[in-house]
Amino acid sequence: MSIAEKTSAQDLRLPPRFHCARLRCVPTRKSRPSADGVGRPARKPMSLKKLAEHLELSPATVSLVINRSSVADSIPQETKDRIFAAARKFKYRANFFARSLRTQRSFTIGVIVPEVSDGYSASVMSGVEDYLLQEGYFYFVASHRHRADLIDEYPRMFLERSVDGLIAVDTPWHMNLSVPVVTVSGHNDVKGVTNIVLNHQKAAEVALKHLFHLGHRQIAFIKGQEFSSDTEVRWSNIARVAKHLGLAINPRLVKQLEGDSPSPQLGYVATKKLLASGKTFSALFAFNDISAMGAIRALRESGLKVPEDVSVVGFDDIQSAAFQNPGLTTVRQPLREMGRAAAEILLKRINHPGSELHDKHTVEPELVIRETTGAAPAGRRVTSKQRR
């Protein structure tokens, strides 16, 4: 065979899923091994029409329920349960591409977070996931690690992937996009953006009043990082409430978290700086639970007991807070509920374009009192000198 003949033969080679019959190329039939090992054609998937006939319902009713249409809210729950049970039994799956073409949607959401592994974002994401899975939506998650270039680029990348909307968690937001956007802990007023925010005024009140009533007057504070969306609004409310209570805030007893690691190490370092200041304090209010855990470690290493010498209050009430030793007193943000609310509001805006929705959705905090707070030590100075 000549080189030209070999090349011609190679050019005629077809993908394995095809075979040629009398020069007419047709796709091969997919087969699966039977019980005796002999191949046989795969069973055709259950169609919507056949599923509806089996249920003795109209295809339209079955389609509305399977696709979780808002119109299906009027269908009795018993009927919905029957449809989903039959769909599982016969392994029926809705035609995603047909649904997308019909509705002009991808049924996909983009979610932007600073860090996937930390307690705050993970708790919010669990609420987002709960609602999106319930409503039959898929989602992408991107972590920007507080990099300005990624915060700017990810929304564009999501739009290129035809997402129906975006949720941004603890992420500074300034963009006006062509799709609905909901932020969690976002504080910028942007057209077309709904912000899910905590009542920080009340959060500062419940924490500082708790310490005030326990007799604490010298309180140290750990502020959040400069890039955190909540840092400034939380601190301004703390300062306002402290002034109302007559609590003087000593600048030397205020330290800021530095670095983007979700580790307790940041709170540990900040507390070491507070102790090195030589100023008296009998209580410490940390920016979040993770930094509070690091603070407790630093206090113990300095020979101080919690709460006998220093009371500690965290913020967020992540899952591990209750299982610390001692259990951490903290301001609870309803993080999971905030995530779920973000997803629910986003889908409402997607399903009802132009509907009148508030630009801000406020949730309430709650003080969870555990074992890291107690009465202020009478007549005792709590400084780094105690460890000597």
Three-class HEC string of the chain: CCHHHHHHHHHCCCCCCEEEECCEEEECCCEEECCCCCEEECCCCCCHHHHHHHHCCCHHHHHHHHCCCHHHHHCCHHHHHHHHHHHHHCCCCCCHHHHHHHHCCCCEEEEEECCCCCHHHHHHHHHHHHHHHHCCCEEEEEECCCCHHHHHHHHHHHHHCCCCEEEEECCCCCCCCCCCEEEECCCCCCCCEEEEEECHHHHHHHHHHHHHHCCCCCEEEEECCCCCCCHHHHHHHHHHHHHHHCCCCCHHHEEECCCCCCCCHHHHHHHHHHHHCCCCCCEEECCCHHHHHHHHHHHHHCCCCCCCCCEEEEEECCHHHHHCCCCCEEEECCHHHHHHHHHHHHHHHHHCCCCCCCCEEEECCEEECCCCCCCCCCCCCCCHHHHC
Both tokens of 199, joined, read 């009542």
- φ and ψ of 228, to 5 deg: -70, 135
- Enter the tokens of residue 96: 């995603």
Whole-angstrom distance, CA of residue 384 vs CA of residue 277? 8
Measured distance CA(331)–CA(202) in Å, rounded = 10
* Per-residue model confidence as pLDDT tens for the chain (388 residues): 444 444 434 443 444 433 333 333 444 444 444 444 455 555 566 777 888 888 898 887 887 777 766 667 788 899 988 988 888 888 877 655 555 545 556 789 999 999 877 678 989 999 999 999 888 788 999 999 889 999 999 999 999 988 999 999 999 998 989 899 999 998 888 888 999 999 999 999 999 999 999 999 999 999 999 999 899 999 999 999 999 999 999 999 999 999 988 899 999 999 999 999 989 999 999 999 999 999 999 999 999 999 999 999 999 999 899 999 999 999 999 999 999 999 999 999 988 876 656 688 999 999 999 999 999 997 444 444 333 3
d(CA 293, CA 205): 22
Q: How high is the pLDDT of residue 41?
A: 53
Token pair for residue 379? 């007549």
Contact (CB, 8 A) for 361 and 334: no
Q: Do 323 and 294 meet the contact criterion of CB atoms below 8 Å apart?
A: no
Handedness of CA 66, 69, 71, 73 (dihedral sign): positive
**Confidence (pLDDT) at 34:** 46
Contact 29, 43 (CB under 8 A): no
Q: How many CB atoms lie within 10 A of CB 81?
A: 11
Domains identified in the chain and CATH numbers: 48-101 (1.10.260), 106-196+335-363 (3.40.50.2300), 200-333+368-387 (3.40.50.2300)
| Overall residue count recorded for the chain in this entry | 388
Tokens of 361: 């959705």
- Please state, in angstroms and rounded to a whole number, the distance separating the CA atoms of residues 376 and 213: 9
Give the per-residue pLDDT at 71.
63
- Contact indicator for 62, 83 with CB cutoff of 8 Å: yes
The span from the CA of 138 to the CA of 222, in Å, is 38
- Determine contact, residues 168/184, Cβ cutoff 8 Å: yes
